[in-house]
Amino acid sequence: MRYYKTTFIWVMILTAVAGYSYIDWERTIAEKQRKEEESRLFKFESTQVAAIVLEKEGSLIEIERWEDGWRITKPLNAKADSGAVEKFLRNVTASKNDSEYVMDPNPSAERLLEFGLANPLVTLTMKVGQDLTHHTVFFGKRGPTMGIAFARLKGQEPVYRVLADARSEADKDVYYFRDKRILRFNPVMVDQLAMSRDGKDIRLKLPGDGRWAIEKPIKARADHNRVFELMGMFFNSEVKEFVDETRINVAKYGLDKPAAKLSLWQAGDSEETVSISIGARNPEKRGYYVSMSDRENVFLVEEDLVNAIPRDAADLRSRNVFYMETERLTRIEIHQRGKKQMLVRDQEKEWHMDSLEGEKIDYNQVKEFFDALASIRVRDFVTDNPKNLMEYGLYPPFAQILLFEDSSIEPMYLSLGGRTPAGYIYAQSGAEKSILAVDEGVKGILNIFM
């Protein structure tokens, strides 16, 4: 009994100590937050800033917060890079005012000259809150360590040290704060894509199965990764230079007769969401002039971006021969030189030779076969309109692989013919009627079960 009493007393003591420690920890955190708040140079958050005015060397930049993000209102009216503006504000409002950050509480004229604040080159005014209270800070020189800069608040004597990044970003031109995105929506929302270049038109569509397909000039499967790579390049690239804020004289930039055009549709849009026209090349600046349907200016983009636009539909065609879900296959036939090998799958998904009663096939052998089929790649698209299959050794074919799915009437097939001049094998796939060229190694697949 005495043991239990002693244990209970110790539990009570430890609980009390833990409670006191927790309260003391909370007080420490609160005190730290209070000191942090008191040491802030600006008593407001960056999110409370409604407008920014930057004055330097006779130029003026004004930026305002709108419902859809920041906008530049002077020296021109344009969408701002909200990320760049918010980063700049965070750097400014992170500045401190305690003794550690005060460089001189009452500087003389000579000291102001030393700090670069006698005639500040950069003046920042932040308009805060609904009443747009002005908070103005003058930026001076960078500190010797280059990690800090000197600043002074309007109406106050002390000189403070602030983050050099705040000083550096305040000294940027309007291009820095401008929205330089080419595409302003996510490419995963695009379900149609059209391009025109060198007199050739290409059109792609994303049907319900989620696999991009070429609609024009031929009907064929597209390379899903290649399509997203192209859209991703436009989404991730930025304007190289803003050339003209109007499109009054487009002929000057070769945009009266664009050399290329790219159009994108977001899902649900019946009309193109945005179109991009490519004009003349500027060899000195290694870029192309561009205009877009959703803005009124002309700008330059990098050469590599324009060079990425395909000149031919073959550049976007999928080079996979088979598009199969192996779990749905129920029968496989291999025909070669008058011989036929058939494989069938039972309800337990086991494969058998010739019939359901035939010898079971080792899983590894089946997997080797499917992996080999999936690895077949088109080396060349020979023709989309074959007139005589005998010309390619495909009538009759040298060999044929047929794959039957459970719900499909027609099989997927690959017919193999003669040798191409380049040493490949002529082939024709059930997915497309085109004549293809594939590696000669495809013949090895025929022998896995033969």
The CATH number of domain 46-177, selected from 1.10.3470, 1.10.150, 2.60.40, 2.50.20: 2.60.40
CB 428 within 8 A of CB 394: yes
User: What is the distance between the alpha carbons of residues 431 and 413, in angstroms, rounded to a whole number?
Assistant: 8
User: CA–CA separation, 74 vs 173, rounded Å?
Assistant: 12
CA distance 147 to 153: 20
DSSP string computed for 105-164:
SS--HHHHHHHT-SS-SEEEEEEETTTTEEEEEEEEEEPTTSSEEEEEETT---EEEEEH
Q: What is the pLDDT of residue 294?
A: 92
Amino acid occupying residue 215: E
Sheet with 329-336: strands ordered across:
351-353, 339-345, 329-336, 399-405, 412-419, 425-429, 435-438, 378-383
The DSSP call for residue 182 is: S
Task: Report which residue type is found at 270.
Answer: S
d(CA 212, CA 191): 8
H helix count then E strand count, the chain? 9, 26
CB-based contacts of 285-288 (< 8 A; 24+ apart in sequence)? 285/240, 285/241, 287/240, 287/241
Does residue 405 sit in helix, strand or coil? strand
DSSP 53-91: EEEETTEEEEEEEETTEEEEEESS-EEB-HHHHHHHHHH
Alpha helices in 183-319 (DSSP H): 224-236, 303-307
Phi first, then psi, for residue 440 (nearest 5°) are -65, -20
pLDDT confidence of residue 4? 55
Q: Report in angstroms the alpha-carbon separations of 14 from 5, 21, 297, 351, 364.
A: 14, 10, 72, 68, 63
Any bridge partners for residue 205, and if so which? Answer: 192, 213
pLDDT of residue 33: 52
DSSP line for 310-365: -SSGGGGB--BS----GGGEEEEEEEETTEEEEEEE-TTS-EEESSTTSPBPPHHH
Residues (pLDDT < 50) of the chain are 31, 34
Which residue has 């000195």 as its token pair? 284
Euclidean distance between the first and the last CA atom of the chain, given in angstroms as a whole number: 86
pLDDT at 324: 84
Structure tokens at 234: 């436009």
Q: What ranges do the domains of the chain cover?
A: 1-38, 46-177, 187-316, 326-446
- Residues contacting 275, CB < 8 A, separation 6+: 261, 262, 263, 264, 292, 293
Tell me what pLDDT residue 406 has. 82
